[in-house]
A and B are shown apart, each in its own frame.
Chain A
Amino acid sequence: MTEPAMTLTDARLSFGSHPALDGMSFHVRTGEMFGLVGPDGAGKTTAVRTMLGLLPLDGGTVRVLGRDPARRDRELKEAVGYLSQRFTLYGDLTVDENVEFFGDIHRVKDLRARRERLLGFTRLGRFRRWRADRLSGGMQKKLALACTLVHTPRVLFLDEPTTGVDPVSRRELWGLLSELVLSGLSVLLTTPYLDEAERCGRVALVRAGRTLACDTPAALRASRRGTVMEVVCAPVRRARDLLLQSPRVGEVQVFGDRIHLFPRAPDDALTDLVAGLAGVSVSAVRRVQPSLEDVFIWRVAEAGP
């Protein structure tokens, strides 16, 4: 088995008395799209900064392409690309000039050709003479991505790349990232959106500086064993109140126009119970997979306070 592209092992880091990283561990394989998923304050950005060599750890180890990033050696810097959460563009420079600048400081050979390819890839060619601050949020992210890729890195860190980006641009961005991964790039991205985690090859769910779980999205969802029944009905609240009265029901999650039913016994489909709800009209019942959000919340509850 080839060595992982990036590893974080039992990482510990505190800012004053506040533990930002509290034993977080995971590894990213070569050519993989890996998602670091968790809410604000989970330690995602801190973990990324550590892997870039910007923050030294108090305990544990970090390796990128087999090396310690805290050494800040030049070769590693050339192999790594980073797209930070805040905008990392020069708003008063044009699209062309931004790519040129980053290409220059990385001493990219044959910069012109490379720039053409990148602008083509990100479909920004038409806007090359536009000042970066005139672009929409989604386009700015694409430009930032292009600047990150100019020196052909082997490893890419993306810190919340789709935050604040509209859904259309988000999907385009994902398309680009998928293509990059296919071409052999190892990508670590952080996101607070659990639905985005589904698009990753493997995912680490993190919270309060620790890893809750780490596996493929499918495996994670399957890990929460048992049936989940989705019942589209009305009125939703009445249905919930009635269902909670039954000992066969473990949990009821209410959504706008339907409920997710978690039976206590894994194989109990509760169909008869659902059919017999008084004063509730049921339009659809089906078995569904638990969502990653369900898994996340369940793991948090398991992990305890």
Chain B
Amino acid sequence: MSVAAVARKELRQLSRDPRSLMVLVVLPAVMTLLFGTVLSLDVRHVPISVVDRDGTASSRALVAALTSGEYFELTGHAASESELDALLLAGKVTVALVVPRGFERSLVTGGRPAVRAVVDGSNATSAQTALGYLEQYVTDFGARVEGERPEPLLSARLRVLFNPELASDRFLLPGLMAMILMVSATIATALSIVKERESGTMEQLRVSPLSAAQVVLGKAMPYSMLSLLAAVLVMATAWLAFGLVVRGSLLLLLLLAGLFVVGAQGLGLVISSVTRSQQVAFQLASYSTMLPSFIISGFVFPLRSMPRALQLLSAVLPVRYFISGLRGVVLKGAGLAAIWPEVTALALFATTMLGLAIWRLHRSEL
């Protein structure tokens, strides 16, 4: 079969090019490891200083509860509020806490004591997060102290499903994996057809009985296999290095990944069939995958908070569907019944891209 002949040739060429193989199969896993370690919206070891005006067992317990975990790190007790101000200004602490006099008494007698916190807002995101932690801790503390009393210090109680610690890495990892795979898969095939054009072998193929479909499919096959292998390595890395356990079906995961990489490579082949030089193909592949994957796919920034136009644009990105499907299967243990829209979208993308690549190749002049 001619498609097999093309696939065999591509595989042979790839096996003689260890650098490309590394980039295609191993690099994604390495990138996942690197970026996964660094990428986290969590804020840890936030330096905090306390002025404890009360000096009671309760106030000490509060401070202890706050700083016993990983989130806050007590740099020391301050003597006065102006000292706190100085510390904040100098950037030595991010949060300053003041426990007022009469804190314990108020607690015990059923009052509603308040603690005051000042947060360095120059890094808005981490400031907000720190504030959030603070509120959570204080609420918890209040609940524990009260024991049976039903009224909480805070009016709302939050119950977080699926990701109780709100560990951002779990949230971010699927997006990271998707982006890395998209970029590498697209670039791999983006160069494939153009290279043949540059070297002159494409002309020979055109003159042979080989059809455009046979060329495209023959090229897509080996690359897809290798990219799927890369995807498996990425997920293994996520599991080994970050403890990301897949709640749902591994098979479904593979299906998602498979459809996704085929689509990405289809896109790469389309790019390859419309560009004239490897340089341009590479740039086009990079720009068309990296930025959209990062910004409008739901990787970091939630889709719903984006302007309508961008939301519409993200509807044609396969990354968006892959991320949402991935999160579903990995974090929520969703089955096919829940994520069939994503599966369908990815399948649609894959077929459209391959079809487009075939059509472009068929019609292109040399």
Contacts and interface: CB of A to CB of B under 8 A. Distances in A.
Interface of A: 49, 52, 54-55, 74, 77-78, 80, 82, 84-93, 97, 101-102, 104-107, 131, 147
Interface residues on B, range: 20 to 34
Interface in B163-202: 199-201
Contact of B209 (A49, A74, A97): A74
B210 interface: yes
A82 B200 contact: no
A55 B365 contact: yes
A106 B199 contact: no
Given A54-B203, A104-B2, A105-B205, A93 B12 contact: yes
A95 B217 CA distance: 25
Most buried by A among B6, B13, B204, B210: B204
Interface in B221-240: none
A105 B203 contact: no
B366 interface: yes
Contacts of B6: 105
Contacts of A97: 9, 12
B12 A77 contact: no
Interface string B1-43: 0101110110011001100000000000000000000000000
B9 A84 contact: no
Contacts of B208: 77, 102, 105-106
B199 A87 contact: yes
Contacts of A93: 9, 12-13, 16
Interface string B322-339: 000000000000000000
Contact of A92 (B16, B207, B210): B16
Given A54-B206, A92-B12, 18 more contacts: A55-B365, A77-B208, A84-B203, A86-B203, A88-B203, A90-B13, A92-B13, A93-B9, A101-B9, A102-B204, A104-B2, A104-B8, A105-B2, A105-B5, A105-B6, A105-B205, A105-B209, A131-B16
Contacts of A147: 204
A93 B9 CA distance: 8
A187 to B, nearest CB: 16
A104 B209 CA distance: 11
12 contacts: A54-B203, A88-B200, A90-B13, A91-B199, A92-B13, A92-B16, A97-B9, A101-B9, A102-B208, A105-B6, A105-B205, A107-B2
A14 B210 CA distance: 28
A77 B210 CA distance: 9
B209 A90 contact: no
A167 B12 CA distance: 34
Interface string B251-282: 00000000000000000000000000000000
A87 B201 CA distance: 7
A97 B11 CA distance: 12
B207 A80 contact: yes
A106 B209 contact: yes
Most buried by B among A52, A92, A131: A92
Interface of B: 2, 4-6, 8-9, 12-13, 16-17, 199-201, 203-210, 214, 365-366
A104 B5 contact: yes
A88 B201 contact: yes
Contacts of A90: 9, 13, 201
Contacts of B16: 92-93, 131
A150 to B, nearest CB: 10
A151 to B, nearest CB: 8
A83 B352 CA distance: 34
Contacts of B203: 54, 82, 84, 86, 88
A82 B210 contact: no
Contacts of B200: 84-88
B63 to A, nearest CB: 67
A117 B205 CA distance: 23
A77 B207 contact: yes
Contacts of B13: 90, 92-93
Contacts of B209: 74, 77-78, 105-107
Contacts of A101: 5, 8-9
Contacts of A107: 2, 209
A103 to B, nearest CB: 9
